[in-house]
Chain A
């Protein structure tokens, strides 16, 4: 869709109901040749460049905005954990174990009397760091490969795509498990394993986008001017591929967080006593009969954060989707 924002720009429901197939052709009015009126033609003459409209459009999505604010606060808390909670998250108070939440300890204390709130904040640091590293590594590898495969086409494309098929055949978590198993348990290794898991998806996405953008006549126009392939990729293709990539990255981030927690839960990521959401979950699992509520806190943190990443991803998609298509 376009600048024209009404969520109901689909054709009216009784037209698409299928009993009157020919009238589906009203969707044609959205296609926007000059001869036809299009909803987008209402506002395309606005002088506002599309990226200014981006925040406006994003903010309109209330749920995504709340999720984004939550994530920003979480990231800030993780970065400034030491300033927020000067006490050591590993400080044990064995006189107060499995304590319910109180004003002194907002999220209570675990089976070693450690402050759960402090561990959640410090744990966020580990979890977010690992996810960030995983997504960043995957992108660093995937962007050049995807651009190359999409633009060069031919044999190189074929080989790259078959390799990524081969990787994607293996279930993501199983693959990550095997790689971390081989490399040995550590946060960095988990990040590396996840990068391997994510990269093929990114390569595929970028390649697909490049293949479609490559056919646009502005790319042909650049070629006709005498621009070299690298120039075209840098100046014309990359930013037009960026939107779906950003969305995909946000969603993958959420998945990375979940996967990191899963691997830590299985003992392949961060190791006790380092606080991470996955290890906290393992620890709480041992106390399930004594203090079942301890499970809820890291579990909830994981669930809410993953959900937030997905919501932000959706919001970004809606807000960015309009740009690549232009008017």
Chain B
């Protein structure tokens, strides 16, 4: 990779182990590997969708990148600079370049602070500005997210969920970040406001060239908004690839099941299709399965899956998949499951 096409964000081997403590002495009795060796890149101005179910470690990954939680191992580089090595003032400065939008706009805005305070907070933290200057900036930001300046002195309780999320986005934009980590930004919103917020994010990406790490459990929205998708399961990325490719031709059995599980708004299609219903629950991250972490629920599990953790293998367009079906199974040529395995093995 040359210096020019160096990605904006490069994450390598990111790990987070949470100790489980018990008793008065707070002894560590077990460890949860919430994030277990995650690697990916986000290009400049790119939207990368990070999809997974609860407990997959997707939100933790977002927080590790921002160092809201300290990683146990691995590296996070923003434009070539190692974020993990930063201390004090330097870290605060770098945080300007990476901002976060949180899932629940009801708890991410201080209920006792006005819109001017919330959106103006980054200026208060990083710059010396008079209240007047700050308010002017806030009005500009509110306009960017499609809200009027008359909201300035209102409290969060006066707004609907969608409006609150706009306010939260305005706050994230204040410091002109290069990357916004959006952690389930629409899942707490009403359906008619979800698309408003998704469109807002797309507009911002286009207009301001901000890159997004779009963390969500809803594959249909992620697929729509992102250029590439990474699918996480139990702390690891099992498949990365072009959004269209992953959505239409999933190569990992888990991606396939996840896509199949989304109910589509078409009763005829719902009746016709055979849905892959996954057996059982996701295993506890306290005690992840040996070998491939997905093998306990996988319909195509082979013997090797019980013992050997599969390495990422390249697919098309720079995508990768971590599955033995593609290295030692019936899909050696890297074809999607829907095309090869289902027809051959029935």
Contacts and interface: CB of A to CB of B under 8 A. Distances in A.
B121 A34 contact: no
A32 to B, nearest CB: 7
Contacts of B241: none
Interface string B125-165: 11000000000000000000000000001111111110000
B268 to A, nearest CB: 26
A224 B112 CA distance: 19
A103 interface: no
Contact of B121 (A47, A51, A228, A235): A235
Nearest to A218: B110
Interface stretch (B12-20, B95-103, B200-208, B229-237): B95-103
A225 B102 contact: no
Given A218-B110, A240-B110, A227 B157 contact: no
B42 interface: no
Given A224-B68, A225-B122, A226-B96, A218 B108 contact: yes
A326 interface: yes
B283 interface: no
Interface in B157-177: 157-161, 168, 171, 175
B83 interface: no
Nearest to A231: B125
Nearest to B153: A49
Contacts of A221: 100, 102, 108-109, 168, 171
Interface residues of A, number: 35
Interface string A313-327: 000000000011111
Nearest to A225: B122
Interface of B: 66, 68, 91-93, 95-96, 99-100, 102-104, 106-114, 117, 121-122, 124-126, 153-161, 168, 171, 175, 188-190
Interface of A: 3, 32-35, 44-51, 216-218, 220-228, 231, 235-236, 239-240, 323-327
Given A33-B188, A217-B103, A240-B111, 16 more contacts: A44-B157, A46-B157, A216-B107, A218-B109, A218-B110, A220-B68, A220-B100, A224-B95, A225-B175, A228-B92, A231-B124, A235-B117, A235-B121, A324-B111, A324-B112, A327-B156
